């Protein structure tokens, strides 16, 4: 009797497994059909739009009209007044609403030391070598004594804290470069790049005049770097996405990030150079359906106490970020 029960249970279990397998197959088929129908409708919608509006960008069909903001004059006036009060020769601001290209450029001819903002184009040069299969994320580079810089990096985990001769993967170095603004990671990667690698970024993005003769940059010119990542116009989509993801994980939040809701994605790069009193922050704020690019750069006062000078710059940048966010989120 027990043997018959065991056989019955085995048969019953086998039936249940077959039924479960069939159910999984049905779900997968229905999911694929649903996806196909959805993409077909989107494709047909884009094709219909192209027929009815042949002179209009077909991608506009996927964004509701209320998210196409073109009137930035009220915000422009507020930011202009802020810069006037702060000191026209001391600040440079660039805002671009990415759905429409409408933009604000305050003191666009003011060139300021970029500090760590230069790490983004360097990362793009590295990613291009990976994209071209010259390098791999898993390749290792050696830490030399001349690479060490103990003035940056994650506390207790900075790259410079490794013993000389340590081999570090390119992926780890890129993460430390973009997330923790690690100077030692920058030095290792830069030492291993060829001059042509960096030149390729400059030529492809048309930024030959990005930096002036002594290495300064304006907020408007630097913003081209983040626009190229957003459009995936230099790196492919996968690698542009990866760079932006790492930048979104950046731990620094004292400047433009400070007044923003915590749930917003904000891939950005900040820079500070206390020797020349330069402060900067640049990135893309992803308000749902209303992403915008913002870059604010401040030239501080060498004659002021450092902490006071830094606080003054931070408050200016926070206010500019707050006003911009409030404008685009409530328009």
CATH of the domain at 293: 3.40.710.10
pLDDT for 262: 92
In a domain, 206, yes or no: no
Q: CB count, 10 Å around CB of 82?
A: 16
Question: In DSSP terms, which residues pair with 270 in a beta bridge?
Answer: 281
Radius of gyration for the chain, computed over Cα atoms and rounded to the nearest angstrom = 25
- pLDDT tens digits, residue range 102-156? 999 999 888 898 889 999 999 999 999 999 999 999 999 999 999 999 888 887 7
Residue 281 structural domain? 69-114+211-330
Q: What number is the average pLDDT over the span 155-168? A: 92
- Domain boundary among the residues 47, 62, 77 is at 62
pLDDT for 4: 46
In a domain, 182, yes or no: no
In a domain, 132, yes or no: no
| Whether the predicted pLDDT of 181 surpasses 90 | yes
- pLDDT tens digits, residue range 197-212? 878 887 777 766 666 6
pLDDT for 89: 79
pLDDT for 61: 73
In a domain, 122, yes or no: no
Mean pLDDT, the chain, integer: 86
| Whether the predicted pLDDT of 7 surpasses 60 | no
Whether residues 51 and 78 share a domain: the answer is no
Whether residues 271 and 237 share a domain: the answer is yes
> What is residue 269's DSSP assignment?
E
Whether residues 13 and 91 share a domain: the answer is no
In a domain, 170, yes or no: no
Report the percent of the chain where pLDDT is more than 70: 80
Whether residues 73 and 57 share a domain: the answer is no
Calpha distance 242→240 (Å, rounded): 5
Whether residues 25 and 98 share a domain: the answer is no
Whether residues 86 and 40 share a domain: the answer is no
Whether residues 15 and 53 share a domain: the answer is yes
- pLDDT tens digits, residue range 40-94? 555 556 566 667 777 777 767 777 878 888 899 999 999 999 999 998 679 999 9
Q: Would you say the C-alpha torsion 203, 207, 210, 212 has a positive or negative sign? A: positive
Whether residues 27 and 87 share a domain: the answer is no
Asked whether 236 and 131 are in contact (CB, 8 A), the reply is: yes
Whether residues 57 and 73 share a domain: the answer is no
In a domain, 110, yes or no: yes
Total number of domains in the chain: 2
Whether residues 219 and 304 share a domain: the answer is yes
pLDDT for 143: 98
Question: Among all chains, which residue has been given the structure tokens 């915000």?
Answer: 75
Question: In DSSP terms, which residues pair with 217 in a beta bridge?
Answer: 112, 211
In a domain, 268, yes or no: yes
């Amino acid at each position: 009797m027990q043997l018959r029960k065991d056989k019955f249970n085995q048969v019953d279990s086998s039936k249940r497994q077959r039924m479960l397998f069939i159910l999984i197959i049905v779900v997968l088929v229905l999911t694929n059909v649903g996806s196909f129908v959805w993409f077909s409708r989107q494709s047909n919608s884009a094709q219909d739009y192209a027929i009815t509006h042949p002179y209009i960008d077909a991608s506009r069909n996927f964004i509701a009209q209320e998210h196409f903001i073109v009137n930035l004059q009220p915000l422009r006036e507020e930011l202009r007044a802020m810069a006037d009060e702060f000191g026209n020769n001391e600040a440079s601001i660039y805002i671009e609403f990415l759905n429409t290209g409408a933009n604000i450029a305050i003191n666009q001819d003011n060139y300021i030391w970029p500090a760590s903002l230069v790490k983004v184009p360097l990362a793009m040069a590295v990613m291009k070598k990976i994209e071209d299969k010259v390098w791999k994320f898993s390749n290792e580079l050696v830490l030399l004594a001349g690479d060490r810089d103990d003035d940056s990096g994650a506390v207790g985990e900075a790259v410079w804290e490794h013993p000389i001769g340590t081999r570090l993967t390119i992926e780890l170095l890129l993460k430390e470069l973009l997330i923790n603004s690690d100077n030692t990671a920058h030095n290792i990667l830069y030492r291993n790049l060829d001059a042509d690698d960096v030149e390729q970024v400059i030529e492809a993005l048309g930024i030959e005049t990005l930096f002036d003769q002594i290495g300064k940059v304006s907020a408007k010119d630097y913003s081209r770097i983040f626009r190229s990542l957003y459009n995936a116009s230099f790196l492919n989509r996968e690698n542009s996405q990866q760079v932006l993801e790492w930048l979104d994980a950046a731990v620094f939040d004292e400047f433009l990030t400070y007044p923003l809701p915590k749930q917003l994605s904000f891939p950005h790069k900040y820079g500070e150079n206390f020797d020349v009193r330069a402060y900067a922050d640049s990135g893309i704020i992803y308000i749902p359906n209303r992403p915008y690019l913002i870059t604010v750069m401040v030239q501080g006062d060498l004659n002021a106490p450092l902490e006071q000078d830094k606080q003054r710059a931070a408050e200016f940048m926070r206010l500019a970020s707050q006003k911009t966010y409030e404008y685009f989120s409530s328009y």
